[in-house]
Amino acid sequence: MTQNLQPMATFQPLAGIRVIDFTRVLAGPYATMLLAELGADVIKIEMPQVGDETRAWGPPFVDHTSAYFHAVNRGKRSVVLDLTGPQGRAAVDSLIGTADVVVENFRPGVTERLGIAADEVVARHPSVIYGSITGFGTTGPMAQDAGTEVIVEAESGLMSITGAPGQEPVRFGVAMVDLATGAALVNAVLAALVERGRTGRGRRVDVSLYATAVSALGTVIAGTSAGGGATRAWGSAHPSIVPYRAFTAVDGHVVLGATNDAMFTRLVDALDAGATLGRREWAGNAARVSARAEVDAAIQDAVGRFTVAELLDRLRAHRVLVAPVRTPAEAARSAQAAALGLITDDGGLLIPRSPLGPIGTRELGRAPDLGEHTDAVLAEIGDSIDAKEGV
């Protein structure tokens, strides 16, 4: 059956939804930026003079604001209010009264001190969805502990399996737990909005970096509990597939893999390495895993005879998994990124859109200056005079 689909460029399902954003640093701002990309009106509440501390996380800076801040705060409106005083708190409460969603990721105890604790907000505004991001959740022995990305990577076990074998543990090259937690919060908020459409009532939704990290380890934890042995860092390799890792070519690095035995046979042919890799005992993956060091060494010898371009041509022609190891800058300027419309060029500042960009969500404007929209937003709620005393 043919469906009448809306043009992709009009995909703004959250148009008309207002989000009051108390978040800072990464997980929370990334979540609210995703909501903005889906069409929501996101109002970022910032403290006077300083605002979100990542505004100062540089160099590099763009218009006196860090590139880091620009990357995850686009498409929002910035309002400066002092939540330590009664005028600022009154203005915030008025704003929440016009909103559908509130999002915060403060350290434990901060929302209580600022008068925006979840229980208080939901009691005053029962239709509001109140989303929280914490380090370790709201219950349990670590609930009151501050949990940043690197702390959670260590506590969850992620850091123990990241890095090169035999070397010291390392953190992810980018804060993937923060980003994944932000995406998890968006899922929870969207589900709560659907529920509110049926019941008319909001709810509190909580996600934590720790829960995200432990959940991400699902295959590892399951494998260990099923007798898979102790976990360790594998570098670029895979614990259960050989070959499946990075190798060094004449002029760079490639990642290649054989996820089944037929593909391994094609790999051997592509590398003209039958004499060293075509041994009958290596025909099955389990045997190659057992002989990992020897197999990988033989592949490295073969790969080392070719340039990256030659390897890409050979292995792709033989339908073997292969990719060059690119830098982020190279990926941002790639033909595939351009085809998907993933990169916004804002006067030379390159900003990747979220994974939702290719499905037709709106392209967001530049991140706001501190307090850029204070007067306009307060005027919308009729509190522009009184609230300015709390700015």
Q: Which are the catalytic amino acids?
A: 178
Pairing of strands 41-46, 18-21: parallel
Distance from C-alpha of 59 to C-alpha of 54, rounded to nearest angstrom: 11
What is the residue whose two structure tokens read 């982020």? Answer: 328
Nearest of 54, 56, 49 to residue 84 by alpha carbon = 49
Distance from C-alpha of 147 to C-alpha of 149, rounded to nearest angstrom: 7
